[in-house]
A and B are shown apart, each in its own frame.
Chain A
Amino acid sequence: MFEYTIFLCVILFFFIFQLFSTHEKMSRKTAVLQQCCPRANFISVEHLRFLQALITWKSVISLLRPLLLDVVPTIQQTAALALGRLAYFNDDLAEAVVKEDILPQLVCSLSEQNRFYKKAAAFVLRAVGKHSPQLAQAIVECGALEALVICLEDFDPGVKEGAAWALGYIARHNSELSQAVVDAGAVPLLVLCIQEPEIALKRIAASTLSDISKHSPELAQTVVDAGAIAYLAQMILNPDAKLKCQVLSALSQIAKHSVDLAELVVEAEIFPVVLTCMKDSDEYVKKNGATLIREIAKHSPELSQFIVNAGGVAAVIDCIGSCKGTVRLPGIMMLGYVAAHSENLSMAVIVSKGIPPLCTCLLEEHEDHIKAAAAWALGQIGRHTPEHARAVAETNVLGTLLSMYMDIRSSEDLQLKAKRALKNILQKCTYLPALEPLLHDAPPNIMKHIVGQFSKVLPHDSKARRLFVTSGGLKKVQEIKAEPGSLLQEYINTINNCYPEEVVRYYSPGYSEMLLERVENYQPVL
């Protein structure tokens, strides 16, 4: 009879949490909806209050604790699941789970009980470990890693999945925790898990490997040593989008550390295959694919060259053109990295029609960091030779960059990047028609470079001299107030020396007044 009551009690708990999680989902939805249409109101005030009360009621956990030791396995499992839900919901409750000393108990029973209990226990560990490094550390100190690693060898894919997931949540916080996971011997088993037929298990194992290898080159090397790359590379063509996403992320986390690791990733023959991800319908696959290419391209000119030869640049450019928002960011950065390596690679980016999409990014995007990345990439493309600078300048992007630099609303980073890009391009640019509009509203520190370019080109080009006068450039130059002796003044003098003195005087400000004065002072000859 007593058992029955407990049973009912647990069921009750369970339904409360059920309600709880649906409410959580609902509240998220409503938050979004309320932004869109403020009148929409899905949750009544009472419900919210009830939830609040439940969250603050931490003694729930101490009530659940004896249930974990119950005779009836179902009650144990349910209690564990309830604990997991609570811990998953917020970090206070997770801390409460740690403080109640429930974890050692869970860890002990993790190796003894049946698969349902194992799943539930792994879920609790995951829910606790997800919130902060301290909580994850607490789990590690309980000796949970060994138990979880043993669970990775279980027959049931669900148990494996839960264990892998918990390990991933522990490893993602910092390199020490990650190292602890590696020391527990999880990596070879995770690599085995990738080879299982279950998609969900593959997904989780790939994400855990990604979490482990993201911290340091050594950790990535251990993952590589376990032979993960070959299996990961095979799964790029998997039709499941989420799995693809995790696999790409794992590969990019491995490749990001050093040239050697990147080369190992490339040697797994990912190259023509990974480009298909750029055309995927899923946004995150695109993003992670671009990230992988970026992480490989950033290391050395040779790798960049390899990517260019494989047609990776074209694919990335198409990807940038076809999507919006943060998905573009890795692609933009990849173009910047490739172009930064050498002038030939930069030329290859230009030839692959990489500049127009970057310009549209600069114009269309709303977030400053993407704009900053685009500005940086353009600067890297245009900084090599006048040819490159011309290719960039012809798209009229310099004006946009300048306005971004001048705009007070843009972030500091964007301003800095825009300024550097402008400087890089201007120092090489000899395409005067693009420079002339900038003469009107450039600040002195940019003006220096613009006028400098004019002073370098005009002495050698008569047509340009003529054009410079007719388009009003000379007049503009005369209006610039430069400090005598400064570099700017020197450039202006060089320009002035290209023209006859009266022309220069004609275009100087206040020339008409001077003429009128002369008229006044003139003594008529009678």
Chain B
Amino acid sequence: MAALVRLETRLSRLREEYFLKNRSVDEDRKIVYKAAVKIQSWFRGCRVRAYLRYLNKMAISIQKWWRGYQSRRYFRKMIKTAYFIMKMNFYNEMAVRIQKRWRGYYVRKYTHNYYALKKYLEAISLNNEIVRNELQEYAEMNEKKKKKKDLEKKEKEKKYKARKMHYLLSTEQIAGIYNSPFRKFPDPMELLLRQSKPLSHRQQQPKSPFTYDLYDWPTCKRPPAFPTGEPLPPIGRQKPQGPFRDAAEVLRQRYKPLEPTLRVAASISSPLEKAREEMKREEWRKCIHDNEFLPFSSYHKNEKYELSIHASEKIGKETYGIKHFREVQPNKWIAGKIYLLHHCSSSFSLLIYILFEIHLFRGTVEVEFLYFLKMNCPTR
């Protein structure tokens, strides 16, 4: 217990001691911690920096080598291209030189020949000159023709006028108006009047309504004359041209009597022969049919008799026109026998009837003949 008591007495001291001890430790702990951190950070810093320095160094050395390599490669390439360009320029220059020469030569030779062009242009101008001259000549010729025509027309008009005014001609006694006695020379008109023939009375030409109708119809400016009747066109009798022999000679030749030679005039055949010939010809001419007449009946034995058309009807022989000429109605007959004699008033019809009977009897019917007679028969 004592111990306990001792302990208890020491407890407070102990507690004090313990407290103090802990306190001092607590008080130092922060400082120590901070110091440790500082030391550690310094050390770690040093280590990391050294590492980074190392890395940097390595990177630089890698980059250095890489860049060196790359730029060397680029440089080589650059030199190559520069050289190539230089070469190409040179080649181009040379090519241009060659092409220039060649093209110049080619164009001058084949496409653009300066001298040929010059010649061509000169030829054109020459040709133009010729064409111009020719055209000028043509125009002048035309002009001349026109002038001549005009002149002729004027002349004609003047002549016509002179003929029209021929009555103004001066006579021996009385001077005309163009022949003034106060002048030395008569007027040119007077001379013209002397030369010209007086105009005779104009005969009225029958105007054809078609002539001018034809000419000015397209414009239709004039009314067409009403055609009264078409006149015949004039017969184109023109005076024959050319040198001819004189008429008397021609006529003499035309009406000269025929003078045949003996040989031509005489006949070859004798007169007897000629007569025979003539007879033969006559006979031949008179012959009606070509069938020769053969006298022997044996020749006709095999010949078959051909009926006429009326007689050879299929249905049966028509009696009309053969046996009778009008409708036959036997039921109306008084007697059973045909007796037509009283029908025929004239002797002519009687004759026909008899003829008819005879023909019937003979069996040969000449129908045509009968018809003919019937038509011409004056009675019923």
Contact = CB atoms under 8 A, between A and B. Distances in A.
A344 B117 contact: yes
B330 interface: no
Contacts of A468: none
A116 B223 contact: no
Interface in A347-371: 347-348, 351-352
B135 A309 contact: no
A21 B221 contact: yes
A119 B143 CA distance: 38
B223 A77 contact: no
A275 B128 CA distance: 12
Contacts of A161: 218
B124 A308 contact: yes
A162 B135 contact: no
Given A14-B223, A119-B217, A275-B135, 17 more contacts: A74-B226, A85-B220, A116-B213, A116-B224, A123-B220, A275-B131, A276-B138, A278-B135, A279-B136, A281-B143, A310-B131, A311-B132, A314-B127, A314-B131, A318-B132, A347-B117, A351-B128
Contacts of B135: 275-276, 278-279, 315, 318
Contacts of B138: 276, 279
Contacts of B136: 279
Contacts of A348: 121, 124
Contacts of B63: none
A359 to B, nearest CB: 19
Interface of B: 117, 120-121, 124-125, 127-132, 135-136, 138-139, 142-143, 146, 213-214, 217-218, 220-224, 226-227
21 contacts: A18-B223, A78-B223, A116-B224, A123-B220, A161-B218, A200-B218, A275-B131, A279-B135, A279-B136, A279-B142, A308-B124, A311-B131, A313-B128, A314-B129, A315-B132, A318-B135, A347-B121, A348-B121, A351-B121, A351-B124, A352-B125
A201 B311 CA distance: 73
A81 interface: yes
A382 interface: no
Given A74-B227, A278-B135, A162 B128 contact: no
Interface in A43-64: none
Contacts of B143: 281
B165 to A, nearest CB: 32
A15 interface: yes
A84 interface: yes
Contacts of A454: none
Contacts of B226: 74, 78
A176 B163 CA distance: 61
Nearest to B209: A116
A249 B93 CA distance: 60
A351 B135 CA distance: 19
B217 A162 contact: yes
A444 B358 CA distance: 138
Nearest to A319: B135
Contacts of A123: 217, 220
B209 to A, nearest CB: 10
Nearest to A126: B218
Contacts of A84: 220
Contacts of A77: 224
A346 to B, nearest CB: 11
A158 interface: yes
A311 B224 contact: no
A275 B132 CA distance: 10
B124 A352 contact: yes
A344 B129 CA distance: 19
Interface in A273-287: 275-276, 278-281
A165 interface: yes
Interface in A319-355: 344, 347-348, 351-352
Given A311-B128, A352-B124, A279 B139 contact: yes
Interface of A: 14-15, 18, 21-22, 74, 77-78, 81, 84-85, 88, 116, 119, 123, 157-158, 161-162, 165, 200, 204, 272, 275-276, 278-281, 308-311, 313-315, 318, 344, 347-348, 351-352
Contacts of B117: 344, 347
Interface residues of B, dominant DSSP: helix
Contacts of B131: 272, 275, 310-311, 314-315
A119 B129 CA distance: 50
B183 to A, nearest CB: 41
A351 B123 CA distance: 10
A314 B132 CA distance: 7
B364 to A, nearest CB: 61
B117, B127, B142, B227, most chain A CB atoms within 10 A: B127
Given A315-B132, A344-B117, A347-B121, A81 B220 contact: yes
B182 to A, nearest CB: 44
A13 B283 CA distance: 81
A116 B227 contact: yes
B120 A344 contact: yes
B288 to A, nearest CB: 53
A158 B132 contact: no
A15 B222 CA distance: 9
Contacts of B213: 116
Contacts of A18: 222-223
Contacts of A352: 124-125, 128
A280 B125 CA distance: 23
Given A116-B224, A276-B138, A344-B117, A309 B132 contact: no
A354 B253 CA distance: 75
A281 B220 contact: no
Contacts of B224: 77-78, 81, 116
B329 to A, nearest CB: 59
A314 B128 contact: yes
A491 B161 CA distance: 82
Given A116-B227, A281-B146, A318-B132, A351 B125 contact: yes
A204 B217 CA distance: 13
Contacts of B223: 14-15, 18, 78, 81
Contacts of A280: 142
A309 B124 contact: yes
Contacts of A165: 218
Contacts of A14: 223
A279 B131 CA distance: 11
Nearest to B137: A279
The 6 closest A-B pairs by CB, nearest first: A311-B131, A314-B128, A279-B139, A279-B135, A74-B226, A351-B121
A280 B135 CA distance: 10
A200 B227 CA distance: 23
Nearest to A18: B223
Among the interface residues A116, A162, A165, which one has the most CB atoms of the partner chain B within 10 A?
A116
Nearest to A281: B142
Nearest to B210: A116
Most buried by A among B130, B213, B226: B226
Contacts of A278: 135
Contacts of B221: 21-22
B218 A162 contact: yes
Contacts of A74: 226-227
Contacts of A309: 124, 127
A318 to B, nearest CB: 6
Nearest to A21: B221
A200 B218 CA distance: 9
A123 B220 CA distance: 9
Which of A81, A161, A162, A352 is the most central at the interface, judged by chain B CB atoms within 10 Å of its CB?
A352
A84 B121 CA distance: 58
A80 to B, nearest CB: 11
Contacts of A344: 117, 120
B199 to A, nearest CB: 32
A313 B220 CA distance: 42
Q: B130, B138, B139, B223: which has the most chain A beta carbons within 10 Å?
A: B223
Contacts of B222: 18
Contacts of A311: 127-128, 130-132
A354 to B, nearest CB: 10
